Amino acid sequence: MDLAAVLLVTSVLLVFAFLLLTVSLMRLRGTTRELQAALDDESGARDRAALLLAIASAVNSSLALEEVLNVALTHAGRIMGAVAGAMYLVTQDKAEMHREAEYNLTHRARGAIRKLDEEPVHTAITAMRPLVVKLDERTAPGIEGGGHPQHVLVVPVQRSGQLMGAMELYLNAWRELTEDQADLLNGVASEAAIAIRHAQLFQAQEENALTDELTKLPNRRALAQRFLQEMQRARRHHNAIAFLMIDLDHFKLVNDTYGHLNGDAVLAELASILVTGARESDVCARYGGEEFGMILHETTEPGARTLAERIRAKVAAATFPGGLKLTISIGVAATDEPALFTTLMERADQALYAAKQGGRNQVRVADMKAPAKQQQHSAPSQT
């Protein structure tokens, strides 16, 4: 074989080898990409699992319902970069949800109640999956930084197929959810549902310990806790606050004449009258025996006096178990001076004493400007 033939054969072999090498490299590059994609997926799955584990740990770190709701909501909002958020819980025996937690919303923002058969929640809770929904002016809440969001990501919160509530994550613009984002939000909602249920059970136990068994009103311990909260809120918002001390006149005579069972029925009926006579925002509690207390937030002295008179007249017009006609005496104390908030109960009690001494079935208002031990009570407004 001459030299030219040898060179030709060699060239052909080299080209063939080069082609084989190229094909092998292409296959190797494809395999590498597949491996990298698989590693990325695995890494993403690990990141999502780690995030869900962190969220699960956070939402289950407390049995306080408010804290559980806030933690779940803020984590979900951070995942989606939401400008604001709200957490709603289903109201028992009602086809609606109430906003129980929020962040970056204006005070008393629109949308405090969501009807289950109306947008923006209806489509998402029907599909039982996270969905981005357009908001209208009627349903869009105000954002602290100004303006109203045009879109909201609704994330249903369910447990064992039962709707417990929903998260609303407010967005600056429309966006399509990726499958990973939807899975992650569903995971957050599932963890939140478990923690919410545990917190609700704990809250129910706490409420039983803070509820008067006979009247089903808050007891004295609960009244003290709520009064502390209302004082803090009044200080924060620079509002007035009032307290009513209410006593059923001649209740000992009722017990002695008609028996304690009838006396219990009278107290339960009085509790019902007080609740219906008060405003929804007021706190009515059984203070002890035949005495009841009522916290009136954002209420000045004239408003407290008017409400007390209305309640007194309502009781006087009622017929109690056993056909009894009974009356109450009320002591009123109100102020917008934060330094005097802690004296309201004492001043109301002193005013009640003056009402009892003055003949009962009347309202007396404490003079908050007078020293506590030397104050003079106003004349009876009703005898």
pTM of the model: 0.54
More confident position, 40 or 104: 104
What the block records as the tokens of 48 is 């999502």
Taking only the tens place, the pLDDT of each residue in 73-112 is: 988 898 889 999 999 999 887 899 999 999 999 988 999 9
Strand-pair category, 241-248 with 96-103: unpaired
Strand-pair category, 328-335 with 363-365: parallel
Tell me if domain 65-209 and domain 220-365 are identical in fold. Answer: no
Q: What residue segments make up the domains of the chain, in order of their start?
A: 65-209, 220-365
Taking only the tens place, the pLDDT of each residue in 189-226 is: 888 888 888 888 887 777 778 899 999 999 999 999 99
Strand segments, DSSP code E, in the chain are 84-90, 96-103, 113-115, 131-134, 151-159, 162-171, 241-248, 283-288, 291-297, 328-335, 363-365
Strand-pair category, 113-115 with 96-103: antiparallel
- Measured CA to CA, the distance from residue 237 to residue 239 in angstroms comes to 6
Nearest to 344 by CA among 377, 328, 362, 367: 367
Of the candidate ranges 10-24, 46-60, 349-363, the one whose mean pLDDT is the lowest: 10-24
Which band of pLDDT confidence, cut at 50, 70 and 90, is reported for residue 381? very low
Count of residues for the chain? 383
The CATH number that domain 220-365 falls under is: 3.30.70.270
Cis check: omega of the bond before 120, within 30 degrees of 0: yes
- When pLDDT is averaged across residues 179-192 and rounded to a whole number, the result is 87
pLDDT score of 179 more than 70: yes
Q: Confirm if 154 and 133 have CB atoms less than 8 A apart.
A: yes
Taking only the tens place, the pLDDT of each residue in 360-380 is: 999 999 999 887 655 444 444
- Give the three-state DSSP class for 207: helix
pLDDT score of 184 more than 90: no
Give percent of the chain with pLDDT exceeding 70. Answer: 81
- When pLDDT is averaged across residues 111-135 and rounded to a whole number, the result is 94
pLDDT at site 34: 46
To the query of whether residue 290 is one of the catalytic residues in this protein, the response is yes
pLDDT score of 28 more than 80: no
Taking only the tens place, the pLDDT of each residue in 217-269 is: 999 999 999 999 999 999 999 999 999 999 999 999 999 999 999 999 999 99
Q: Which of 269, 290, 337, 346 is catalytic?
A: 290
Taking only the tens place, the pLDDT of each residue in 1-22 is: 565 565 555 565 555 555 555 5
Q: State how far the alpha carbon of 282 is from the alpha carbons of 17, 62, 68, 74, 297, in Å.
A: 90, 28, 26, 30, 7
Instruction: Return the DSSP state at 352.
Output: H
Options 2.40.33.10, 3.40.50.10860, 3.30.450.40, 2.40.40.20; CATH for 65-209 is: 3.30.450.40
